[in-house]
Structure 1
Amino acid sequence: MESRLADASRGNSEACYELGIAYSCGTGGVDVDLVQAHKWFNLAALGGNAEGQALRAEVAEEMTPQQISEAQRQARAWLSGRGASLN
């Protein structure tokens, strides 16, 4: 997880996708957290990852509107904190 987070912080959209997988499935030492999964899939999608886009939609089907809003807020905050785009 540490290396994926480091790669994501450098703008790696594949790392964002892998973080989304981890949070959606509860792997890599993290619990299932759909808000975090949506956030990471959203960031992957913004970086051009088509699978991230599809899985973001799939995860959203299991979330409340409030959870989706929180995931989007967290994604915006993460991008703002980085000051860079994803690739």
Structure 2
Amino acid sequence: MSWYRRAAEAGIAPAQYNLGSMHLKGQGVPQHYTTAAKWYQRAANANHASAQFNLGLMYDKGLGVPQDDNAAFRWIRRAARAGVVEAQYELGMMFRNSNSHDVPEIATNAFRWFRRAAAQGHVDSQHNLGFLYSNGKGVPQDFITAHMWYSLAASKGNDLAAEDRAIIASQMSPAEIERAQARAAQCLASDYQDCGG
């Protein structure tokens, strides 16, 4: 602990992040959200992407800092832009759950962030892409592509995706289901890079 603290106080961002995580979880130190937020803030200011994400979540929930939707959004967006897959998913959820969810640009942003996370194998993002395609939110309605994303998420144990896939499959022809299955296999074989949607 003393080495982490020394390194953190010397301005080493990974040590600041680790010290923040220790205080957040109460690992080796008493759990203290305000102290966790302080160390995450320092690391986040030094462009530590995971610290930016965790700080954003703390602002979102009001843990150790005042609850602030704008600060949460800003920090989570910075982490998402830096490639943190969980931040990309969380940002997609922020857009999807926005009070302005019927505004096309909002749904398009949800799609964009879910797609980035899905390309890294994020199961819940794959499920959400299926939802967006099946409902025509941010993208044209496309049951074949929705079925593909639901299948990919279901293959990793997402039971809700399996249920949603069954619902849209009841509205599809056998040929459409076969095309969706072929696209899912192609997407998986390409490590989520050639998914056609």
Q: Is the pair's TM-score, using the shorter chain for normalization, greater than 0.5?
A: yes
Read off the aligned partner of 2:153 and give its amino acid letter. A
- Name the residue aligned to 1:11: 121
Shift of 1:3: 1.4
- The residue correspondences of 1:43-62 to structure 2 (distance < 5 A) are 43-62=152-171
Counterpart CA distance in 2 for 1:58 and 1:3 is 25
Once the two structures are superposed, what CA deviation does each residue of 1:21-56 show, in whole Å capped at 9, x if it has no partner? 0001010x2111000110010011011110000011
Structure 1 SS opposite 2:175:
helix
CA distance in 2, matches of 1:33, 1:19: 11
Number of positions where the alignment pairs a residue of Structure 1 with one of Structure 2: 82
Distance 1:33 1:57 in 2: 15
Provide the residue aligned with 2:45 in structure 1: none
Aligned residue in 1 for 2:130: 20
Which is higher, the Rg of structure 1 or of structure 2?
A: 2
Is 1:71 equivalent to 2:175 in the alignment? no
Identity of aligned residues (%): 34
Report the CA distance between 1:5 and its aligned residue.
Answer: 1.0
Superposition RMSD in Å: 1.0
If the length of structure 2 is used for normalisation, what is the TM-score? 0.41
| Other structure's SS at 1:16 match | helix
**Residue type of the partner of 2:179?**
E
* 1-structure distance, mates of 2:160, 2:141: 19
The amino acid of 1:10's aligned partner reads Q
Unaligned regions of 5+ residues in structure 2, if any? Answer: 1-110, 193-197
Match of 1:63, as an amino acid?
M
Residue number in structure 1 paired with 2:83: none
Matched residue type, 1:21: F
Distance 1:45 1:80 in 2: 16
Aligned residue for 2:190, secondary structure, equals helix
Q: Take 2:122 and 2:130, find their aligned partners in 1: how far apart are those partners?
A: 13
Partner of 1:36: 145
User: For 1:47, what is the secondary structure of its paired residue?
Assistant: coil
